[in-house]
Copies of this chain bind each other. A is one copy, B any other.
Amino acid sequence: MASDTLLRRLRTEIATIPLVDSHSHVPGPSPTARSLDDILGYHYYTELAHSSGMPKDCLDASFNPQERCRTLLGWLPKLANTAQHSWFVQICRDHLGFTGNQPDRSDANYLWNTAQSVFNAPGWEQELWQRTNLEMIFLTNDFDDPLTGFDTSRYIPCLRTDDLVFHFHKPEVRERLAKATGIDRTDAIGVREAVGRLFQHFLAKGARACAISLPPDFSPQPVSLSAFDRALQSAEAGNPDCVNGLFWLLAEFCRDYHLPFDLMIGVNRRVYEDGVFQGQDLFDRRTSLLQFRRLFNNFPTVTFPVSVLDGAQNQELASHAWIFPNVIAHGHWWYANIPGIITRDLRERLQAAPLCKLVGYYSDAYKLEFVLPKFTMFRNILAKVLAEDLVEPGYMSEEQAIAAAQGLLNGNARQIFRRHS
């Protein structure tokens, strides 16, 4: 067990490392919360409250936002045991002057009003960047995003491609592609040209990754040009030649344009059909990284930062990062983003794979306010693991451990996503 003083010193030092947040859903033009509703409307709270018994009617767009917050605050004590709850409490404490540990309905007016004034004060965005000690944050941008209205040196664009790959059979997706690129074709050559335009547009705006989330049964394979051609005409959902052809095309462009290809592996969409918005997806542990064997071999120059949804797949990820030069173990995603799972997964990665093959954490946040509490959770775990596994047994000095933390929180992401300082 690490001594308390060692732990305290490591925590203090690690807190000074500026953060590179390599994956988020923060909207570039509107990155911070405008009201408490932007905080409590995070799907973590709506789905946990709903799972605890909260009817969904308060989540309707027409529902009064302040009343929605009051309702949600009424359910929060039922989930005061969760890690997600601790993030909200930290936001309330850090920015809203709250001093308790279990906010509830009785705090609704205070929190609402304070949030109104704090979040809408001039300079809040810059203030928050400083409080968070944030250096840059990666966004999630639709393929037809104009990428305007924000500073792309701090808000790094990422080309998110789920729609292209998994919903190309839908007329609206084809129309969006035509509109974004000026190329209105659905033959293989034409689609390749259009997708190439997307990459050029994103690169011109400083994009540093292409990203996609994948279902557990996906196993990418190349498709012949003729089969791809035929499949692109199809209106059938999930046509394998269409999905594989488009995915493989993206990998080829990542190779040609030197972009890392973020793979977020394992999500089944709409499993709980009647769930709240963004609270319907789950996973299936019957999946393996072996399904990506052909991809990893075919694109040795493409870096694949990989996230897995099931923590029990972590050893596969650590082992792939151990031998494949182009596989990076990337953060702790969604259902695996809780302290118990992070601790185990981080420990196993640090013990098995070279440090440079690991990106410690990303926030996955929808609003900048969540970056700080989520990274705080991670940094506490990181300090503990470094102390117990590396400093106390004498494998690293404290200085070396802090350098390792710097890599995990900043340097490795800069290197991998080519944002050298």
> Interface of A with B (CB < 8 Å)?
1, 47-48, 50-53, 78-86, 89, 101-102, 268, 271-275, 279-280, 282-290, 293, 296-297, 300, 310-313, 315-316, 318-325, 335-336, 338-341, 344, 347-348, 350-357, 389-390, 393-397, 400, 404
Contact B322 A296 (CB under 8 A): no
Contact A82 B272 (CB under 8 A): no
CB < 8 Å neighbour of A348 from B286, B341, B348, B354: B341
Q: How far is the CA of A318 from the CA of B293 in the complex (A)?
A: 30
A79-B355, A351-B82 as given contacts; A271 in contact with B286, CB under 8 Å: no
| A37–chain B nearest beta-carbon distance, Å | 21
Determine the main DSSP class of A at the interface with B: helix
Most chain-B CB neighbours within 10 Å: which of A274, A338, A339, A394? A338
A271-B293, A347-B340, A348-B341 as given contacts; A282 in contact with B319, CB under 8 Å: yes
Contact B78 A320 (CB under 8 A): no
A274-B297, A323-B282, A324-B272 as given contacts; A78 in contact with B335, CB under 8 Å: no
Give every chain B residue within 8 A of A89 (Cβ-Cβ): 395
Q: How far is the CA of A336 from the CA of B310 in the complex (A)?
A: 18
Contact B297 A272 (CB under 8 A): yes
| A345–chain B nearest beta-carbon distance, Å | 9
Contact B290 A288 (CB under 8 A): no
Give every chain B residue within 8 A of A357 (Cβ-Cβ): 51-52
| A43–chain B nearest beta-carbon distance, Å | 9
Give every chain B residue within 8 A of A336 (Cβ-Cβ): 315
CB < 8 Å neighbour of A286 from B53, B288, B297: B288
Give every chain B residue within 8 A of A274 (Cβ-Cβ): 297, 300
Contact B396 A320 (CB under 8 A): no
Q: How far is the CA of A341 from the CA of B394 in the complex (A)?
A: 20
Give every chain B residue within 8 A of A279 (Cβ-Cβ): 323
